[in-house]
């Protein structure tokens, strides 16, 4: 199925860009008229995925992060966050709560958080080549009542 709309952008793996990515995806997702809760879920999952790239994919360097987001006719939002960093040695272990390669200051909950807020999370990674995280959220258009913007007397 082809998307009805999509966006693709690339940015550097600097901490300051995490809020940019979160905001850009929230603005893009707004076309589906999500609830405040759905939008917060999407923003949180994107934040976790981007933070993982910043902290783990490029631990001693700055690299590129690419995000693609697509909207489909069935109101499905698919967000893909890709890096070309160090990769994940064991994806299944990395997806377990409390697993981290980021040191004692990291909680190791990134994938668990993503999975709790999205309908589906896919992770593909190759050592030395990078990681691709795909976040999928099924949204349902809210019913709107037709209200006049102003009343004529």
pTM of the model: 0.82
Tens place of pLDDT for every residue, the chain, 153 residues? 899 999 999 999 999 999 999 999 999 999 999 999 999 999 999 999 999 899 889 988 999 999 999 999 889 999 999 999 999 886 676 666 555 555 445 445 667 888 889 999 999 999 999 999 999 999 875 555 444 444 454
Give the SS3 label for residue 6.
strand
Question: Can you read off the two tokens belonging to residue 82?
Answer: 């890709």
Residue carrying structure tokens 């489909």: 72
- DSSP alpha helices (H): ranges in 1-153? 16-29, 36-52, 91-94, 110-117
48 a catalytic residue: yes
What domains does the chain contain, in order, with CATH numbers?
5-138 (3.30.565.10)
Which of 75, 76, 95, 106 is catalytic? The answer is: 106
74 a catalytic residue: no
């Amino acid at each position: 199925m082809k998307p009805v709309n999509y966006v693709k952008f690339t940015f550097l793996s600097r901490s300051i860009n995490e809020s940019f990515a979160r905001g850009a995806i929230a603005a893009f997702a707004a076309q589906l008229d999500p609830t405040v809760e759905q939008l917060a879920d999407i923003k949180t999952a994107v934040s976790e995925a981007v933070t993982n790239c910043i902290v783990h994919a490029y631990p001693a360097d700055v690299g590129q992060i690419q995000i693609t987001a697509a909207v489909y006719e069935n109101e499905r939002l698919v967000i893909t966050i890709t890096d070309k960093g160090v990769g994940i040695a064991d994806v299944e272990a990395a997806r377990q709560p409390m697993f981290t390669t980021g040191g004692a200051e990291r909680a190791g909950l990134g994938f668990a958080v993503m999975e709790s807020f999205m309908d589906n999370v896919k992770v593909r990674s190759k050592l030395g080549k990078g990681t691709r995280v795909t976040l999928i959220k099924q949204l349902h258009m809210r019913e709107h009542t037709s209200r006049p913007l102003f009343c004529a007397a």
